[in-house]
Amino acid sequence: MSWRFHIVDVFTASAFAGNALAVLPDARGLTTAQMQAIAREFNFSETTFVFPDEASASRPRVRIFTPGAELDFAGHPTIGTACALVMHGCLGAPARLILEENVGPIAVDVERRDEVFYGALTLEAEIEMPSGAPSAADAAAALTVDPADVRQTFFAGVGLPFCFVELGSEAAVDRAVLDRPAWLRALAPSWSPHVFFFAGRLEDGGSLYARMFAPALGVEEDPATGSACAALVGALASRPEVGDGDFRLSIRQGVAMGRPSTIEALARKRGGRVVSVAVAGAVSAVATGEIEAPAHAQRY
């Protein structure tokens, strides 16, 4: 038996850039092991599996897999899945979809501007910001950069945890190479082994240049990480020196990989606390086809 799939590139207005995503729009009949095997076969950062709600086309169940594990939530698969469903006729644009993911319902607004589809997800969950982030020396060792290049490290997450490392320049971001033994010592056992490192202006309206390593998920480097950008904009807006209002960032990622991506991130702060975060970007259609699932898939 075969299952239909769509491939889209997320956070880019042009195909063959951004972060590639495979979407199976009707995954009914697949086991968890089969879904993991299919995700491993596509070998994208994530693959999504949609289980339609026959009572409401705008509220499907969605499961997200990296090549190595299932995720409770991720940004680019959420936006990409919603846009793929609209692109391929499940709903017209503009549309609001509620994707039932492992973390709960996620709202995604999809619109079409001329020939380009745009998706924006909104989260109202609390930003987690535990203490205990790696030292500048440990972060520098894991990224193979000079400790003087590390300006700060901190943990934050909204649905998926990240270790954030601010570096002093875009050149330092580009120079970074994962040192796996150093990563295993300092980051792998920590609150989050996924390291998102960046440089740029951290004030409202700032532009950042970023990369992300997630070997614990089977992703050596991610071209665009929406969930990290949601956590980052929320964490920065949460700081006491930032007043109430909207706090926006624009993040470029995937440039060094030849997969340039642009992510727009927004935090809304009211009464001294962040009440919601959103990430948005363009999505481009790439391909449609069918894939067969292994009859007796297993984890490797």
Every domain of the chain and the residues it spans: 2-123+283-292, 136-280
pLDDT digits (tens, 9 = 90+) for 33-89: 999 999 999 999 999 999 998 888 899 999 999 999 999 999 999 999 999 999 998
> Helices 75-87 and 226-238, interaxial angle, to 10°?
130
Q: What is the pLDDT at residue 56?
A: 86
Give the pLDDT band of residue 95 (cuts 50, 70, 90).
very high
Q: Are 151 and 197 in contact (CB under 8 A)?
A: no
Q: Which amino acid is at 179?
A: D
The mean-pLDDT minimum among 1-5, 56-60, 74-78, 90-94 falls in: 90-94
Average pLDDT of the residues of the chain: 96
* pLDDT of res. 125: 86
- The answer to whether residue 300 scores a pLDDT higher than 50 is no
Q: Which two tokens stand for residue 280?
A: 């948005």
The pLDDT tens digits for 260-276 are 999 999 999 999 999 99
**Has residue 112 got a pLDDT over 50?**
yes
Domain 136-280: top CATH class: alpha beta
Residue 172 has pLDDT above 70, yes or no: yes
> What is the number of residues in the chain?
300
Nearest to 277 by CA among 242, 205, 228: 228
Pairing type for strands 19-24 and 46-51 reads parallel
- The residue annotated as part of the active site, out of 41, 46, 54, 221, is 46
Do the two domains 2-123+283-292 and 136-280 of this chain adopt the same fold?
yes
> If you average pLDDT over residues 221-232, what whole number do you get?
98
β-strands 46-51, 104-113: how paired?
unpaired
Where is pLDDT greater, at 126 or 90? 126
**Residue 297 vs residue 107, higher pLDDT:** 107
pLDDT of 92 strictly over 80: no
Q: Do the beta carbons of residue 153 and residue 177 sit within 8 Å?
A: no
* 164 Cβ contact partners less than 8 Å away, ≥ 6 residues apart: 133, 153, 154, 155, 156, 195, 196, 197, 198, 228, 231, 232, 235
Reply yes or no on whether 46 is catalytic: yes
Correct CATH for 2-123+283-292 of 3.40.50.300, 3.50.50.60, 3.40.309.10, 3.10.310.10? 3.10.310.10
